[in-house]
Chains A and B, each alone.
Chain A
Amino acid sequence: MESKINQRIGREIQKQKYRAHKNSAIIATTMMGVYSLFLMTLFFVESIPINEIILYLFVFVVVLSFNVISIINSWRFEWLTRLGMLNVLFIYTFITYLLFNQSLPGIFANLFIAFTIGFIYLDSRTATLNHVLMTFTSSLVLWVFPEILAVEESTMAQLGIINASIVVVMIFLYLSAIFNIRMKQFNYEKLAKSKENEYRIIQGLFDFQKEVLNDPINTDVFFKDMHAFFESFTQKLEMENVFEKRLQLIEDLHQLSLSKAKKKYKEIPEEIIIELQSLTLSDHQKLRYLAYRISQIYGDSQTIIDPKDAFNSFRHYDDSEAVKIMVFSAFYVYFRHPDVDRDAYSHQAFMDLLNQSGIDRLVEPRILKTFTEYQDVIETIMTDAIDGVEVPL
């Protein structure tokens, strides 16, 4: 069961990643297209033999076609990322080839263009490849063609310093790219988790509302109304009541298991029955969640949350150290007490939930560590407080 839920979360993350990667692929392909136009013009002006130009053009057309096909046919994520890496490899190889085989002035500067194309892909493997290739090829250019930098009597030391600078700049840019990629990956995970949590929180609300208001939906009355509605609906449209049978099936799905429903409705394909299951008023199916979600549209003031306040945490950088300690303590003590909608949690149960929910990462590690290190003392404080014993500080 847990694995199915994880698969659902994974699918959502993958969906987000895919969408982002596809955008990058479109931009990178356009970039390569524009760059190829520039190159072809350059070859033409530099009077490179026409048969060579045709060959280069052919190579670019093939590469670009593959990219266009992959985008149009929505290739699988894995294949799209691999193609991205191949693109990066291709572009560096091509420029290096030109450097060694065509005397084009200043062509080494095109390495910067290759770098930008590689940078557009937001996955860590392509980023690593891009930075390694840029470091490698620019170092190669430096040592093989030192005259490019017009270092007249270039010494090993001079070239060494320039090379070291290239490496430092690349490390910085790599670090920054990785920061960015990890942040994006984290965001996808956060979004998927927040969607999953949203459904679970509504579930909690359903349960608690049922307990407090004691007014559960009467499915019999509900479906009686539905049947009556569709009768008048089809009458008005002067059509056969095609809804009746499906409605009956949805109603039956409240009591029948899937296998029994399949037996009873042999003529209806299984996938349709599964689809219709989502329309039951059961707690764990889509319809009720969607309906509750829709109910909250009413009276929505359209206030936009400031993204700055959007991320909950016990370690906001502008909160004081004392506040961070106190509020996380309050969180802990809150869960050690029973509330009106739940029982109290033990130290271990709380810690487990904290890890499971990922909230442990939103607490200053130093503060969290104290909770584990001094578990005995904390346990005593809690027991004494709950039992009402005065503890000298």
Chain B
Amino acid sequence: MRDLLLKIRNSEYLSNNEILSIKIALLLVVLFLVSAVSIPFSLILTATTVIQVIVPVAFLLTYGVAWILLVSGAPRTAMHFSILSFFILMGSFLSFSNPIYIYLIVFAILSVIIYYQEGFPFFVYGTILTLFGVAYMLFNVDLFGGDTTQTSETMQIIIYQVTLLLFYVYFLLYFINSEVANDRYYTEYLSSKKLTQKYLENMVRLKDTKIESEYLTPMHERPSFQQALTELSTFLGEMNGKPAKEMQELVEFYFYLHDIDIDEAMHQKTLKYKTKETMRQLKKYLLNANNEFTELAYELLAQTQEGLHPDVKNYETALDSILRFETDRIIAGAMIYRYLKQEVTQLDKWGRVAESLEHGEIKSIFQSKAIKDYLNDRDIGVFLDNEELYKKM
């Protein structure tokens, strides 16, 4: 429980799947408590066999499947089963026969779907439920104590229907808005991440160049590194309940992976699933490639770098938001061109950082969609109209 509370408090550091798992676990616990109280009641109060037998069985089945899926690491499917079991549990309340409850149950189920904050399930289940709710009221006007000849009763049904519809449409808007915001965030974050990966690719290649030219030993081949990692992992493993042998084998395997082609090995049919799984997990942390380990290492090292001058106020990349005069933007455009033509920024055919860009290549950049993050159409036009002059630079 303490663990769960701690996780909730630090929820922002968890992955989406972890958050979903916590949400499912919480819902399932409450479902258990509610069902423990309500099912016996509905069994006593109901005369119909359907509710007496089918509801508890179906509930236990879906509830059980939801837990199994959750613990076996399939939270997304578990979520659907938890919604289903909630749906069935609510079904047991149908015996109370009051239509207003059915109306409120629709809201309760919609709330559970909203609780998961997932757009697609809301769209699917929400549409079905809302249509059901509206239709139910339409065909059971009399159940609401209504008489179609009385305006107030009809009005009441209409208010109920419109409320349900607005509730659904508004939440649909909420999810669309949320998705749009997420998309925008991911696009920006991923483009920044992708660029960082490219810089690090150049960094890794430059390191290789230095290692080769100065006959240095790569990190993973240094005996002191190997010894320290073996001993440290074994020690920490033991402190966390892992047998020394398992940790030592893992470290050995980790070093071995530095010397083989993992992608090729993954396709070998003779390898056990468990080995492939460990390979997949370790691949992102190898020391001789541009991967997650490298990114984390340079993220850490970034703290020691100065980066942008402190007086630079923002991370804007569009020249028209950095410079207000066109004259300055033309100067900036020419400087960028000249820089690209001279500075070594590209890999050669041997994978070394050794080449700068040629005119044709720079032109293709200036004509690409990606350049719009930096130059506006006018700035690009100045380049294209005077291409020959730039080329002579």
Contact = CB atoms under 8 A, between A and B. Distances in A.
Nearest to A215: B344
Given A229-B390, A325-B237, A334-B297, 7 more contacts: A4-B311, A106-B156, A106-B163, A109-B103, A196-B302, A294-B365, A298-B346
Contacts of B303: 200, 353, 356-357
B201 to A, nearest CB: 9
B87 to A, nearest CB: 15
Interface string A282-298: 10111111111111111
Interface in B277-327: 278, 281-282, 285, 287, 292-293, 295-315, 317, 319, 322-325, 327
A171 to B, nearest CB: 9
A205 B306 contact: no
Interface string A180-196: 10111111101110111
Interface string A311-335: 1111011111111011101111111
B240 A172 contact: no
Contacts of A371: 236
A112 B323 CA distance: 49
Nearest to B213: A212
A82 interface: no
Contacts of B386: 233, 236
A173 to B, nearest CB: 6
Interface residues of A, number: 166
Contact of A296 (B199, B282, B309, B361): B199
A304 interface: yes
Given A23-B181, A212-B206, A333-B225, A4 B235 contact: no
25 contacts: A12-B314, A105-B155, A106-B156, A106-B163, A109-B159, A175-B26, A176-B116, A179-B8, A184-B185, A199-B315, A222-B338, A225-B338, A229-B392, A229-B393, A279-B323, A285-B309, A292-B345, A293-B374, A295-B343, A297-B370, A329-B229, A340-B214, A341-B207, A354-B300, A386-B224
Interface stretch (B14-22, B57-65, B260-268): B14-22
Given A113-B166, A250-B331, A288 B339 contact: yes
Contact of A217 (B181, B196, B342): B342
Contacts of A176: 23, 114-117
Contact of B13 (A119, A203, A361): A361
A208 B209 CA distance: 11
Contacts of B365: 294-295, 297-298
Interface in A263-307: 272, 274-276, 278-279, 281-282, 284-300, 304-305, 307
Given A179-B23, A201-B298, A326 B206 contact: no
Interface string B179-205: 011001110111011111011101100
B322 A173 contact: no
Contact of A246 (B73, B171, B310, B327): B327
A160 interface: no
Contacts of B189: 187, 190-191, 194, 310
Contacts of B362: 298
Nearest to B364: A298
B206 A209 contact: yes
A35 B374 CA distance: 42
A312 B296 contact: yes
A319 B206 CA distance: 31
A296 B170 contact: no
Contacts, number: 467
Contacts of A175: 8, 26, 115
B180 to A, nearest CB: 7
Contact of B282 (A24, A42, A243, A327): A327
B234 interface: yes
Interface string B41-81: 00000000000000000000000000000000100000000
B30 A196 contact: no
Interface string A220-235: 0010011011101100
Interface stretch (A49-57, A58-66, A67-75, A374-382): A374-382
A275 B219 contact: no
Contacts of A117: 170
A367 interface: yes
Contacts of A183: 11-12, 19
Contact of B224 (A16, A300, A388): A388
B177 A24 contact: yes
| Dominant secondary structure of chain B at its interface with chain A | helix
| Dominant secondary structure of chain A at its interface with chain B | helix
A95 B82 CA distance: 33
B281 to A, nearest CB: 5
B389 interface: yes
Contacts of B345: 292, 295-296
A27 B203 contact: no
A209 B207 CA distance: 9
Interface in A20-66: 20, 23-24, 27, 31, 34-35, 38, 42, 45-46
B174 interface: yes
B95 interface: no
B21 to A, nearest CB: 8
B308 to A, nearest CB: 5
Nearest to A391: B231
Contacts of A384: 227, 231
A120 interface: yes
Contacts of A192: 315
User: Which 9 residue pairs of A and B lie closest in terms of their CB atoms, listed nearest first?
Assistant: A105-B156, A385-B228, A186-B12, A200-B307, A295-B345, A116-B170, A4-B310, A200-B305, A200-B302
B193 A194 contact: yes
B250 interface: yes
Contacts of A16: 185
A260 interface: no
Given A149-B100, A278-B312, A323-B281, A119 B199 contact: no
Contacts of B181: 20, 23, 122, 184
Given A179-B23, A310-B186, A195 B315 contact: yes
B335 interface: yes
B384 interface: no
A46 B155 contact: yes
Interface string A225-259: 11011101100100000110011001000000000
